[in-house]
Amino acid sequence: MPYEQMKEYHSRGIKESVNILMAMHCGPMLRGLRNEVILSVENRLMKEMICQLQETPYGYLILNRGKKKCLVMLYHIERFCRYISQKEIIKALDVFGYELSEEKSPEENMIRALFGIAQAMSEYYAGRAEFPHELGYILEYPLRDVEMYIKNQGQNSLMTGYWKVYDNLEKAKETFKKYDQVREQAIADVMAGKMFYELAVSVSYTHLRAHETS
């Protein structure tokens, strides 16, 4: 998508600024390729973003409030509940003290995970702790890549894209390509007249119906 066209759309107003921002960062989530995403949102846009999310299947978590911007995690509530309650994710986060379990409901596991990462990020931004690299598990990065990232302290990766890749390079390249494609489609959709919340509802519903009947 030509930069000048995006810049012109962005300049039309707050609603359009939020719309293009969400499309740029949330395409893979809208298409069901991932369940969550983190983006930086200008403080002046937060109210509009929250309004747009109200009629969608998405929730939001503010990880940090800065003077000019907020760091925000968006997540598909139903899919994130299922993801975070998987045995291997529960085991991975247990090392960091998240206290999830297979006995707890998916909703409770989700709340504990969100509270845990919000607290960890707060400690980091306050200068009382190191960056919580378990965020990679919560963001659904491949387990092996997160493990190797932590072990290598972020060095010696095979490739850097939507995350740093340490294992299964070809699969990662394929995934990144898909992410780029759906991102471009989301941007094209909103610039053609759709609002983000319209796209979120319609695409998510279609994806879930396809999942139920497959």
pLDDT tier at 213 (50, 70, 90 boundaries)? very low
- pLDDT of residue 104 exceeding 70, the answer is yes
Question: So what's the pLDDT on residue 55?
Answer: 78
Paired tokens of 85? 């309650």
Distance CA 128, CA 134 (A): 17
Distance CA 71, CA 1 (A): 25
Q: What is the DSSP string of the chain?
A: --HHHHHHHHTT-HHHHHHHHHHHHHHHHHTTS-SEEEEEEEGGGHHHHHHHHTTSSEEEEEEEE-SSEEEEEEEEHHHHHHHHTSHHHHHHHHTTT----TTS-HHHHHHHHHHHHHHHHHHHHTTSS---TTHHHHTT--HHHHHHHHHTTT-S-SEESSSEE-S-HHHHHHHHHHHHHHHHHHHHHHHTT--HHHHHHHHHHHHHHHHHH-
Asked if 58 and 36 touch (Cβ cutoff 8 Å), the reply is no
Only one residue has tokens 């010696």, namely 156
- pLDDT of residue 58 exceeding 80, the answer is yes
Q: Is 105 exposed, middle or buried (0-12, 13-18, 19+ CB in 10 A)?
A: exposed
Question: So what's the pLDDT on residue 171?
Answer: 96
Distance CA 133, CA 72 (A): 16
Angle CA 76–174–25, to nearest 5? 40
Paired tokens of 194? 């759709």
- Across the range 21-34, mean pLDDT stands at 88
Question: So what's the pLDDT on residue 122?
Answer: 95
Question: So what's the pLDDT on residue 199?
Answer: 74
154 Cβ contact list (under 8 Å, min separation 6): 164
Question: So what's the pLDDT on residue 208?
Answer: 37
Half-sphere exposure of 35 (CA within 13 A, CB side): 18
pLDDT per position as a tens digit, 130-182 = 999 999 999 999 999 999 999 999 999 999 999 999 999 999 999 999 999 98
Asked if 113 and 93 touch (Cβ cutoff 8 Å), the reply is yes
Mean of per-residue pLDDT scores for the chain:
88
